[in-house]
Structure 1
Amino acid sequence: MNLPVVSPSFHRPPRHPYAWAWVFTASQLLVVGLWWRWGWPAGLPAMVASHLTVIWATLHPRSQLLAPALSRLPVADRAVWLTIDDGPSADTRAMLDLLDAHGARATFFLVGERASAQPELVREIVRRGHGIGQHSHTHPQAWFWALPPRAMRAQIDAAQAALTAITGTAPRWFRAVVGMSNPFVASALKRHGLARVAWSARGFDGVRCEPEQVVDRIERDLAPGAIVLAHEGAAHGRNVETLSLLLERLRALGYRCVVPDGDASVPEPSAGSAGEDIQRRREVESGIATH
């Protein structure tokens, strides 16, 4: 049976989604003051620096300037949060089988439009005890970072509605497309109580097709509490093979895959199942449900 746990304190939806606007306005007033007092030699560098700061905050996946972003779990032992982006896809069932075989749990960050086209896969993810997060509605990879307010809200609203309709439960976690989160994301997240999730270990398996290289890169960034980014459905067709190797490597290194409590409810494995020994070691720590 699942043990009772405390709701995780690290689930942090944006509280002040327009704070960036006040800060940016203040910075531009400062630029005007510098320009008026000392001319362009002082004003121009200040203006460039202020604009570059906004660009950096938009493009850097772990930036906290525009909205809170979780990139590591507060655990001290060898536990990681495995997250899988871009589904559902033709890879989903095979990935679920691999996770079952290793007694591991993951959170799937799903694209709303793809979920609506294959709702049975979404329900299968939930049935097997894994978490669901949202990853926009149409996955506009090239332009998500530049979407204006109305288009950004539409992406997040539509994905939330689609996933909630399929599963009966509203997702609690959000991952920006390609990790880029512009100033208009925060207000949409606050509307739905969504917390943004970044990552601390990735192997670029969305574009790289050599599983060994992908897993080697992830391993270099592994540490207690790491959030591992993986993908499904990439054009190179080797995401399942990569996940298999990754799960084997994690087990060899003594890492367990965990998900935040409330994201999944895993049934007890039957006697002799692959996850039996991990099930016996289940524990509660810092608001994390583990297997």
Structure 2
Amino acid sequence: MNSFHRPPRHPHAWAWLFAASQLAVVAIWWRWGWQPGLAALLVSHLTLVWATLRPQSRLLSPVLTRLPTAEPVVWLTIDDGPSDDTRAMLDLLDARNARATFFLVGDRAQARPELVGEIARRGHGIGQHSHTHPQARFWALPPMAMRAQIDDAQAALTQLAGAPPRWFRAVVGMANPFVAAALKRHGLARVAWSARGFDAVMQEPAGVASRIERDLAPGAIVLLHEGARHGRNVETLAAVLDRLDQHGYRTVLPEQLEAQA
């Protein structure tokens, strides 16, 4: 089977590259003076920050941004559950003959174990989305805290779902240099997205669906959420499924494409 599930192979390569860049900074500073040296220093550090904050960046670890297919299919992904929306979303997906991967938060899954089992029982995927979803500081977590977030969530979801998740999505998509080593330990592959509608904050389902519609393409990874405070995530999912139908797209799980390859 030809797999596009790619956990990090060299999780510490970034450190060697960064060290080499700092040696280059020293050489530039010594040879041409402080102004070029300072500019080189800023570029090297800003590159690391950019790689952390940009969800689609592959500089720190491999990341899947779209499925490698020319078929009119998309991977529907739903973050931040389980929540009060989960069961209604499952019913809607069943009614529309659609499949999705739910990227679950570990401690939320432990609080609602029956929903984790229901997701798996109905044939949907389960991915990992950290253990406590520290939205404001996930991108800046130090090594041990990052490892705990990923280790604890993987243990919780494996126990509840009966199988270990294969896919990981960073909180807010931002993965700092310490994510890769933790992913490698569990054979997790990082997933970003190629189509999003900001439904965690936007309340109008039609507006979210229109934003996603603009980025639809074969193999698109669609990012949606559940449990937002505005309470309209289920309506938004229905609107997005309508747009997919209008454009002749169907939903698929990556494992189905891997099996066909």
TM category, shorter: over 0.9
**1:70 Cα shift?**
0.0
Q: Which residue of 1 aligns with 2:223?
A: 229
Contact 2:4 2:258 in 1 (8 A): no
Separation in 1 of the partners of 2:242 and 2:202?
19
1:100 and 2:88 correspond? no
Alignment of 1:1-291 (within 5 A): 6=1, 8-261=2-255, 287=259
TM-score (norm 2): 0.98
**1:186/1:82 Cα in 2 relative to 1: closer, same or farther (>3 Å)?**
same
Deviations 1:12-53 (A, max 9, x none): 000000000000000000000000111112101100000000
Large movers: runs of 4+ above 6 Å: none
Deviations 1:226-284 (A, max 9, x none): 000000000010000000111111011100000022xxxxxxxxxxxxxxxxxxxxxx7
Query: Helix, strand or coil: the match of 2:251?
Result: strand
Query: Helix, strand or coil: the match of 1:155?
Result: helix
Residues matched between the structures, number: 261
Query: Helix, strand or coil: the match of 2:253?
Result: strand
Unaligned stretches of 5+ residues in structure 2 = none
**1:285 Cα shift?**
5.1
Taking only the aligned residue pairs, the percentage that are identical comes to 74
**1:121/1:68 Cα in 2 relative to 1: closer, same or farther (>3 Å)?**
same
Residue 184 of structure 1 aligns to which amino acid in structure 2? F
Separation in 2 of the partners of 1:44 and 1:286?
47
Unaligned stretches of 5+ residues in structure 1 = 1-5, 262-283
Contact 1:87 1:232 in 2 (8 A): yes
Separation in 2 of the partners of 1:288 and 1:90?
35
Separation in 1 of the partners of 2:142 and 2:249?
41
Contact 1:173 1:197 in 2 (8 A): yes
Deviations 1:165-209 (A, max 9, x none): 111100000000000000000000000000000000000001111
Q: Which residue of 2 aligns with 1:273?
A: none
Query: Helix, strand or coil: the match of 2:252?
Result: strand
Separation in 1 of the partners of 2:155 and 2:257?
32
Separation in 2 of the partners of 1:213 and 1:194?
33
**1:259/1:164 Cα in 2 relative to 1: closer, same or farther (>3 Å)?**
same
Separation in 2 of the partners of 1:135 and 1:27?
32
